[in-house]
Amino acid sequence: MAEIKWNEFLIPYSQAVDELKIKFRNLRKEFLEKNEHSPIEFVTGRVKTVDSIKEKMRRRFITTDLLEQDMQDIAGIRIQCQFVEDIYEVAKLLHIREDMRVIEERDYIANSKPSGYRSYHVVIEYPIQTAHGQINILAEIQIRTLAMNFWSTIEHSLNYKYQGDFPEEINERLKRAAEASFMLDEEMSKIREEIQDAQKYFTDRKRDLNNPTEHNK
């Protein structure tokens, strides 16, 4: 690949993020419309900045001609879930979809990183329709609980300050926080049915209050 025209290069990745966010948010809406528990709570997405791409290329020794296949997270989607069980349910849903193909998975929940990081990463191949035909790009989907996401956000912020070289005290506190976060997820899983029943009751009650005529039929 010659000198990259970054604005042009990133267009399909931006399109992929926009499309995937809509699709996963609609999937959540479909569950809720059927009055079922949705394994998806929040969906966000982003395209890596040019500076971030260049930095990773230097760090990983990725050449421009291999960029599209070697950097799997230029397009990134983050799906947040209420329960750990929901994470694996979302992963199953990705496998049965016909509009994307799962090509790689990394389970950092069952096998957390030494830092304490937990998340489930799925790399997909996603078709994009362009003015010149279809192209397939790679996108990374990170699936995690709300607690995992909170820890990861804090760790990411600290990483900017310390450039990955955390003081020992901070490092140990982050590890303890990661374990505490996972213990919270485990406790929530143990009372998952109670929580879901309460949420369903709240939703039904809210619907009745908003539609008193329908309720009195």
Active site residues: 140
Containing 45, the helix (H) or strand (E) segment is strand 42-47
Q: In 56-161, which ranges are E strands? A: 75-81, 101-107, 120-130, 133-145
Edge-to-edge strands, sheet with 42-47: 42-47, 75-81, 133-145, 120-130, 101-107
Q: Which of 92, 96, 153 is nearest to 119 (CA)?
A: 153
Tally the residues of the chain.
Answer: 217
CB 107 within 8 A of CB 90: no
